[in-house]
Amino acid sequence: MPKFSAFNMRCLDAMIIRGGSSKGVYLDVRDLPPAGPQRDSVILKIFGSPDKRQIDGLGGADKLTSKVCLMGPPTRSDCDIDYLFGQVNQTLPKIDWTSNCGNLSSGAAYYAALKGYGQTTAGDTMHVRVHQVNLGRRILAQVPMRDSQPEVEGDFAIGGVPGTAARIDLDFGDFAGAVLKRGLLPTGNPKDLIDVPGVGQIETSIVDMANLHVFVRAIDMGLDTSLSIYDLQADASLVQRLENVRAAACRHIGFGTGHDMDELMRISVNPLIFVVAPPVGYTSITGDEVAAEDHDLFARSMARYEFSKAYPGSGSVGTAVAAGIPGTVAHAATRSGAVADAAFTLRIGHPGGTLSVDAAVNGNSRSVSYARLGRTARLLMDGRAYYR
């Protein structure tokens, strides 16, 4: 339950942390009611939802900033901290507790380092084993330290975040098949032909890696790779076609059975849909020119009727693994030779710029040895969150 009351309001300890290209409110799970409607009600009030602008709360009026992370002591003996992620809906009184946020996973590791969890080795690196509670898997993180606190200064840059900072390394190798528990390819196929209302039959690749991902070709969806993410978002017909693909993919694999599918698509992060194409030059949202030779795969991500202005952390891991499996839509669009070996580095061209993922994928056994992503994180606020 909330620890404090002040100014005729209730309040509890909170941190706001920028993790990767997302921003989240980090709360101690022990300060909140047990899982259920009462806990959701408190969090919705803290964020100011439902309200598109979230004007009466800490939400940032964007899907990348309307996220909550509940942290606590580890409930697994092989982990140092628990991390439960919630995607707080802006316009509906709903929180999606069924997915993972790869970007805020770096914030979870950073939070653990702030609190002194993990093991510090020679060389001032803290190793943190993060229990990702939503999916029941383990993230292996390395957080650079200075004077017993997380380092924030560094020369590592990520697309969608200004400036540079210290690099936090995350390994999602444990996350193959984490959502549906049916393996990396839940249908058993690298490609599936599905019927999509308003589109017809279309080839997709459905990959369960760190989250549930659906890959389609840009040319099949009528997506112009030269357009900005804002122009793509303004194309209501394109957005609806992509949401129709998400819903059709859900029906194809039995995800969300028994739910109102339109409501599920507006609430659930999973599945994320990725529109991919061979490398092509384009302008990032920061105005920088991204050349075709600077990336191995062009990709745009969307979920819940909204394109991502950067790229999901879990999606980058899923994209790299999908590219490493022969026969997938992502593999076919990837630059020739980029994933020729079992271990590779994939450079993804996204709206915020480029990012790289190191992965080791066995295409025959469809297994993942590691999937490593570099992110940065920073504490933005440490204090109390007030709500009525």
- Structural domains in the chain, sorted by start: 4-175+376-387 (3.10.310.10), 192-365 (3.10.310.10)
Comparing CA positions, the residue from 96, 45, 353, 133 lying closest to residue 229 is 353
Residue 17 tokens read as: 């942390």
Low-confidence ranges of the chain (pLDDT < 50): none
Q: What pLDDT score was predicted for residue 3?
A: 64
Residue 4 confidence (pLDDT): 80
pLDDT at position 39 is: 98
Find, among 7, 106, 114, 96, the residue nearest to 43 by Cα. Answer: 96
Helical residues (DSSP H) of the chain, grouped into ranges:
37-47, 102-115, 218-221, 229-234, 236-253, 261-267, 313-323, 329-333
Contact partners, residue 213, CB within 8 Å, separation at least 6: 206, 207, 271, 272, 273, 274, 315, 318, 319, 322
Report pLDDT for 304: 94
Residue 337 near residue 346, CB atoms below 8 Å: no
Residue 160 in tokens: 């969608």
DSSP, res 304:
T
Alpha-carbon 211 to chain mean position: 8
22-45 pLDDT, tens digit per residue, is 999 999 999 999 999 999 999 999
Kindly report, residue by residue over 85-97, the tens digit of the pLDDT: 999 999 999 999 9
Bridging pattern class, strands 125-132 and 168-171: unpaired
Alpha-carbon dihedral angle through residues 42, 66, 109, 1, given to the nearest 10 degrees: 0
What's the rounded Cα separation, in Å, for the pair 139 and 109?
Answer: 9
Helix or strand holding residue 15 (H, E): strand 9-19
